[in-house]
Structure 1
Amino acid sequence: MRHPIFPARKPSWINKAISKIEADYQRSADTHLIYLKLPGFPDIDFYFKDESTHPSGSLKHRLARSLFLYAICNGWVQKGTTIVEASSGSTAVSEAYFAKLLGLPFVAVMPKSTSPDKIQAIEFYGGKCHFVDHPAEVYEASRIIAARTNGHFMDQFTFAERATDWRGNNNIAESIFRQMQHENHPVPRWIVTGAGTGGTSATLGRYVRYEQHETQICVVDPERSVFYEYWKNNDARLCTDLGSRVEGIGRPRVEPSFLRTVVDHMIQVPDAGSFAAMLTLSELLNKKVGGSSGTNFWGVLELAKQMRHRGEAGSIVTLICDSGERYMNTYYNPDWLEQNGLSEGVRDEKRQMNLSE
């Protein structure tokens, strides 16, 4: 019996787009886990997952990849769709990277306070920047631009925790535990992260529960953010008039992707502490790290002090979210610190950060 021969189906734009994203993933080796020993904490091992080595330069590369795959597979993004995102910078840089990879127009909606280096990076990948006066205005402005361009608003703050496969598929949690397998304390006592969308803390919290690890998740929160109070009081109506000065973490409102129920502990970190810890960690690692990495390190040291006081041994893992090279005009600029009333506080915090005792 002869069967009819049908012509080969041409690959659709969606198939090609997913293949390009997967090819980019295969070309990108996993990020390094940097080990650090501090003399003041002989029984505690410190590890830093260096997410600054992603092709687009930050932890948000993972999120952008997941958001694009989620939107494409849901049928929200097609050939020629304009991508619009509300961002304080790093997510927009990473989404601009993937938009360029797929040949899609990209518009980032950001506060005017976003660092010039991030703006330059977005424009390098062919993206356009639309600025708003207040961080809380990014959501509505993004919806308006998406409607006007017949585009798609990615909305990282809603979809971050949904787009990421938290059970595995080489997400950041699975990667950390795989890299820790041969260490002295392979199951960390703590994993410390900040929260912008809340997607990373959601992935980490869900994963350690799913894999039945004893690891606890600590989220560090900068000044002018509502996440800490929301975690304590479960009041989703919280909002602030000012935006976080630590780009990438802290929000003026409770974001849908922040899941307080998977967070074991939270620490409020003063901005002066974040920037002092950023400078100290940069010296320890001989590489410049961003402000949110400083927030992470400040929280790590607080937890390490508590462990030392209780006589506990173990490991603590945190993230280097992005490179400090993006903040040479802000956090690493003495004039910027002075203008924001942070100079004296940063000096005091740095003096108190004695890591040998």
Structure 2
Amino acid sequence: MLCSTIGQLIGYTPVMTIPVPNSDATLALKIEKNNPGGSMKDRMARSMVIAALEDGRLAPGGTIVESSSGNTGIGLALAAQEFGLRFIAVVDHHAAPDKIRTMRALGAEIRFVEGDFREDEVAVVERQRLAAQLGAQLPGALFMNQSDNPANPDGYAGFVDELLVQFPRGIDAFVGCVGTGGSMTGIARRLKRHNPRIRTIAVEPAGSIVFGKPGHAYYQSGTGTPAGDEVGKVLDYTCIDEGVQVTDTQAFETARHVARHHGLLVGGSTGGTIYKALEFIASGRLSGTVVTVVADGGEKYLGSIFDDDWMHKRGLLDPAIGEQLEFWLSGMACAA
């Protein structure tokens, strides 16, 4: 296919399957890191911009403002280029430095929130406040507010359409991460419409408050809802069969394992969904074709979760998780 705009490169991402021994399941990874901005968020970012232009909330030549830990911001930077708009990304210290560099390279203006925050504390509330303020004060500006924007989940219609073509015999379960709830809602709702028997499992970081557990700090980026913030209005709990939590260590060790044993660099939230998908398969709670998403690539986290010193200093290394993964994926215990 010949493309003339960056937006036309979004979607049609491939799938990589991983057999799971001693089970009747296959784990299928949809490689959303192959989108031009490197994540699944390219889909919903473009969807939100198109919707805002069509209904007049955003005028040609206007300014997009959004709070982002990086991936949505990169997607919005691409959409701003495509449609001739200005983009201001409001970020905090929790955003991966390479994501901020990528947004700048694509022409985004970066605004950091002020405040004294712990390294593992996500400053979402302050980010949202500043983004809303800029959207209200700047002429021709619009705060996209992805957490409450109905065009967020609508942006994943193409993702589901592609899955249904890639798996003509159907899929049995979908395991996805949940932050604002946009991707999980958009995907799970459409899968359920196609086949109500498809199991949908939503994964949040331990410390996130999406499913009512006590909140505390966590290192996983771009996923979950931290204490003090509100769960996004786009999240539809009725299309989710089960919500579960994954620890930073489980998520990050799984991402490292997938890189070293399957040659695929994935981000931390993807490591978390892969870990929980395998846990569900191993316990017999999921079977058949189980799909999860490579939401973004590990290339953005080479200085953090793929760096031994960074992991060690934060107490996030745990060889036992690698042994568990080796058992699940090879059917053999890892040598001591």
Alignment TM-score, normalising by the size of structure 2: 0.87
Cα distance change, pair 325–263 in 1 and its aligned pair in 2 (3 A): same
- Where does residue 39 of structure 1 map in the other structure? 21
Q: Do residues 147 (structure 1) and 136 (structure 2) align? A: yes
Cα distance change, pair 249–178 in 1 and its aligned pair in 2 (3 A): same
Q: Which has the larger radius of gyration?
A: 1
Q: Is the 8 A contact 2:9 2:36 kept in 1?
A: no
Q: Is the 8 A contact 1:34 1:47 kept in 2?
A: yes
Structure 2: tracts of 5 or more residues without a match: 116-122, 332-336
Cα distance change, pair 152–22 in 1 and its aligned pair in 2 (3 A): farther
* Runs ≥4 residues deviating over 6 A: none
Structure 1: tracts of 5 or more residues without a match: 1-20, 231-237
After superposition, give the CA deviation of every residue in 1:109-133 in whole Å (9 maximum; x if it has no partner): 1121211110110001010111224
- Where does residue 194 of structure 1 map in the other structure? 177
Letter of the 1:179 partner, please give it. Answer: Q
Q: Is the partner of 1:248 in helix, strand or coil?
A: coil
Letter of the 2:311 partner, please give it. Answer: L
Q: For 1:196 and 1:37, how far apart are their aligned partners in 2?
A: 28
Q: Is the 8 A contact 1:36 1:47 kept in 2?
A: yes
Cα deviation, residue 163, structure 1: 4.4
| Pairing 1:281-320 to 2, within 5 Å after superposition | 281-307=258-284, 313-320=287-294
Cα deviation, residue 147, structure 1: 2.1
Q: For 2:324 and 2:15, how far apart are their aligned partners in 1?
A: 27
Letter of the 2:129 partner, please give it. Answer: E
Q: Is the partner of 1:228 in helix, strand or coil?
A: coil
Letter of the 2:170 partner, please give it. Answer: V
Q: Do residues 70 (structure 1) and 46 (structure 2) align? A: no
Cα distance change, pair 351–100 in 1 and its aligned pair in 2 (3 A): same
Q: For 1:94 and 1:51, how far apart are their aligned partners in 2?
A: 12
Cα distance change, pair 27–204 in 1 and its aligned pair in 2 (3 A): closer
Q: For 1:136 and 1:103, how far apart are their aligned partners in 2?
A: 29
- Where does residue 220 of structure 1 map in the other structure? 203
Letter of the 2:210 partner, please give it. Answer: F
After superposition, give the CA deviation of every residue in 1:204-247 in whole Å (9 maximum; x if it has no partner): 222123223421110011122111227xxxxxxx8x463x4211
Q: Is the 8 A contact 1:281 1:297 kept in 2?
A: no
Q: Is the 8 A contact 1:187 1:215 kept in 2?
A: no
Percent identity between matched residues is 28
| Pairing 1:1-357 to 2, within 5 Å after superposition | 23-28=5-10, 30-41=12-23, 43-132=24-113, 133=115, 134-150=123-139, 151-159=141-149, 161-165=150-154, 170-181=157-168, 186-229=169-212, 240=215, 242=217, 244-252=218-226, 253=229, 254-307=231-284, 313-343=287-317, 346-353=318-325, 354=327, 355-357=329-331
Cα deviation, residue 251, structure 1: 1.1
Q: Is the 8 A contact 2:7 2:82 kept in 1?
A: no
Cα deviation, residue 265, structure 1: 0.9
Superposition RMSD in Å: 2.2
- Where does residue 334 of structure 2 map in the other structure? none
Cα distance change, pair 220–25 in 1 and its aligned pair in 2 (3 A): same
- Where does residue 118 of structure 2 map in the other structure? none
Q: Is the partner of 1:37 in helix, strand or coil?
A: strand
Q: For 1:211 and 1:352, how far apart are their aligned partners in 2?
A: 34
Q: For 1:316 and 1:241, how far apart are their aligned partners in 2?
A: 30
Q: Is the partner of 1:171 in helix, strand or coil?
A: helix
After superposition, give the CA deviation of every residue in 1:181-201 in whole Å (9 maximum; x if it has no partner): 1xxxx3222100001211111
After superposition, give the CA deviation of every residue in 1:131-171 in whole Å (9 maximum; x if it has no partner): 22422211111011122322110111111x444448x8x52
After superposition, give the CA deviation of every residue in 1:16-58 in whole Å (9 maximum; x if it has no partner): xxxxx995444445000111113343x2111000000001110
Task: Give the length in aligned residue pairs.
Answer: 315
